[in-house]
């Protein structure tokens, strides 16, 4: 396995023991340790890698039934084994439940980093959303995370990651000396549009699944209003806004130019994002995939505000911003490749400059259809996705272990299984789906879990042995294929 020593999320945090021993966390009743260290099974063997039942952090009867139901339809033994390990990984290993003020509170860590990312935690629960209506305990988890994320946004809408104890300062080694307005409860303060989008999407997912208004409290509404105000503020139509970030780092994409305000732009109505969902700095701050995601998330917020709270003002505010950003992104977020094809750009600056690339982290160009930002049959997106999955994307790699998209976060020729999962979820060609399933299956280095990235020629060289978002996304893919293309799953790959 690659020893990740650079600053950033891919570092395997040595501070977990210190976090677990924090007196502040002890007052909250947190467990003394994080009881999950992924074992490496003996070569050729496939024992369950789940923690013992007594050590599982959260148990959902509906999820257990779903594992059994879907597993029965998977013909490939290794794929079936991996699904059983990965689909419940978030529940088994990352959830802490408690009550706050008589209401559920859920803290969901990323895996090997014991902090809550707005993006990751919302995405980690998404594979279970179709089961919420039939499992009151699972519904409590969703309500608890909606409440926790609402409080996080109210602490700081510019932060991407948060501490379990809202009264403690960050203990992430790479964030201790960041020059930005760090507050108690914030673990890392990288401004990423998608952090707020995932918060809004989490509420929409729950509402659509249950029509239960309980989590849409005054606190949630205050956080939603602040999210809209922050997205509007970062259009920067009336100045740069308050966000500024500097970090002493050897990697240029860990900090921002222009005294921490980021590269210059022409203000065209798109929202500025200083960092990508990889937590890497944008080259041009008008990040197209996140702007398209913001349009979708804001329109979803408008429907929830209307239906769950009868809040016409919040709905109108969200819808108006969505319309503005949609027009601006349609006008300024496209470019032409060298062969003349028009595609969505990855990032633009409003002056006419654009870059074409894609990164495995979602939102991405490849993931726009999966997120519901475009139709899967949209010609512009299909051209864009085809270009992203090719040598026209500098972060696309092809090797003896298959092909996929990576990104600067880990480095060149390090495709992420997440990109393979997203491609399979977005594909309409059964041959492509089968190829991606084989690559994912064979790229686990025998560990039975999904990693962050691996070498294009050698899957045994990988980063992050415990990455709950990737595990859950793989489970989501298998559940979706079981519903829509069961014949593919029944095959022996």
Residues 378 and 367: their CA atoms lie apart, in Å, by: 13
pLDDT value of residue 22 = 31
Region 187-211: mean pLDDT is 98
Contacts of 458 (CB under 8 A, 6+ apart): 400, 401
pLDDT value of residue 37 = 81
Where in the chain are the domains? 16-37+47-490
Residue 30 confidence (pLDDT) above 50: no
Band of residue 9 on the pLDDT scale cut at 50, 70, 90 = very low
Report residue 272 as tokens. 């500025």
- Per-residue pLDDT tens for 318-335? 999 999 999 999 999 999
Q: What percent of the chain has pLDDT over 70?
A: 93
Region 204-222: mean pLDDT is 98
Contact present, 146 and 202 (Cβ < 8 Å): yes
pLDDT value of residue 44 = 84
Report residue 178 as tokens. 């960041």
Question: In terms of C-beta density within 10 A (0-12 exposed, 13-18 middle, 19 or more buried), how is residue 193 classed?
Answer: buried
Residue 7 confidence (pLDDT) above 70: no
- pTM of the complete model beyond 0.85: yes
pLDDT value of residue 286 = 98
pLDDT value of residue 389 = 98
pLDDT value of residue 209 = 98
Alpha helix positions (H), 333-395:
379-388
- Per-residue pLDDT tens for 237-294? 999 999 999 999 989 999 999 999 999 999 999 999 999 999 999 999 999 999 999 9
Q: Determine if residue 3 is left, alpha or beta; phi over 0 gives left, psi from -120 to 50 gives alpha, anything else beta.
A: beta
Terminal-residue alpha carbon distance, the chain: 26
Lowest mean pLDDT among 34-38, 94-98, 193-197, 471-475: 34-38
Give, as one character, the DSSP assignment of residue 348: E
Region 135-161: mean pLDDT is 98
pLDDT value of residue 35 = 58
Residue with tokens 């997106």: 381
Report residue 469 as tokens. 């978002």
pLDDT value of residue 34 = 57
Give DSSP secondary structure letters for 287-308.
EHHHHHHHHHHHHHHHHHHHHH
pLDDT value of residue 234 = 98
Contact present, 393 and 405 (Cβ < 8 Å): yes
Domain over 16-37+47-490 is classified CATH 3.40.50.20: no
Contact present, 245 and 190 (Cβ < 8 Å): yes
pLDDT value of residue 3 = 34
Neighbouring C-beta atoms of residue 217, cutoff 10 Å: 16
């Amino acid at each position: 396995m690659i020893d990740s020593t650079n600053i950033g999320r891919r570092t395997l945090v040595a501070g977990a023991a210190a976090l677990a021993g924090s007196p502040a966390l002890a007052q909250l009743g947190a467990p003394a340790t994080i009881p999950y260290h992924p074992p490496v099974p003996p070569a050729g063997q496939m024992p369950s890698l789940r923690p013992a039942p007594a050590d599982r952090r959260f148990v959902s009867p509906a999820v257990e039934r779903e594992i059994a139901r879907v597993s029965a339809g998977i013909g490939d033994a290794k794929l079936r084994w991996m699904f059983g390990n990965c689909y419940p990984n978030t529940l088994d290993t990352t959830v802490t439940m408690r009550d706050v003020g008589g209401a559920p509170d859920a803290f969901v860590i990323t895996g090997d980093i014991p902090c809550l990312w707005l993006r990751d935690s919302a995405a980690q629960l998404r594979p279970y959303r179709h089961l919420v209506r039939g499992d009151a305990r699972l519904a409590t988890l969703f309500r608890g995370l909606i409440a926790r994320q609402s409080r996080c946004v109210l602490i700081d809408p510019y932060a991407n990651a948060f501490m379990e104890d809202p009264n403690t300062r960050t203990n992430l080694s790479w964030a201790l000396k960041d020059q930005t307005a760090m507050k108690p409860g914030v673990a890392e303060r990288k401004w990423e549009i998608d952090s707020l989008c995932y918060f809004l999407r989490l509420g929409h997912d729950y509402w659509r699944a249950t029509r239960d208004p309980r989590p849409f409290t005054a606190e949630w509404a205050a956080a939603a209003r602040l999210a809209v105000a922050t997205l509007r503020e970062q259009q920067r139509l009336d100045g740069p806004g308050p966000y500024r970030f500097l970090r002493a780092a050897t990697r240029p994409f860990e900090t921002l130019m222009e005294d921490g305000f980021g590269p210059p732009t022409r203000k065209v109505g798109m929202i500025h994002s200083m960092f990508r969902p990889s937590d890497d700095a944008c080259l041009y701050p008008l990040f197209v995939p996140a702007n398209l995601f913001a349009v979708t998330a804001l329109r979803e917020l408008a429907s929830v505000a209307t239906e769950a709270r009868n809040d016409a003002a919040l709905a109108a505010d969200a819808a108006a911003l969505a319309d503005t950003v949609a027009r601006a992104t349609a006008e300024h977020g496209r470019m032409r490749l060298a062969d003349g094809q028009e595609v969505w750009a990855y990032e633009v600056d409003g002056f006419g400059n654009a870059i074409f690339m894609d990164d495995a982290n979602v939102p991405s160009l490849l993931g726009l259809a999966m997120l519901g930002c475009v139709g899967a049959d949209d010609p512009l997106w299909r051209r864009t996705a085809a270009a992203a999955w090719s040598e026209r994307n500098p972060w696309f790699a092809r090797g003896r272990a298959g092909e996929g998209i990576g990104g600067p976060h880990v480095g060149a020729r390090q495709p992420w299984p997440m990109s393979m999962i997203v491609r399979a979820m977005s594909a309409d060609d059964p041959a492509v789906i089968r190829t991606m399933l084989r690559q994912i299956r064979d790229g686990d280095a025998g560990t039975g879990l999904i990693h962050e990235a691996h070498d294009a020629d050698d899957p045994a060289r990988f980063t992050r042995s415990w990455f709950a978002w990737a595990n859950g996304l793989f489970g989501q893919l298998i559940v979706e294929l079981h519903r829509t293309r069961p014949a593919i799953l029944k095959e022996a790959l």
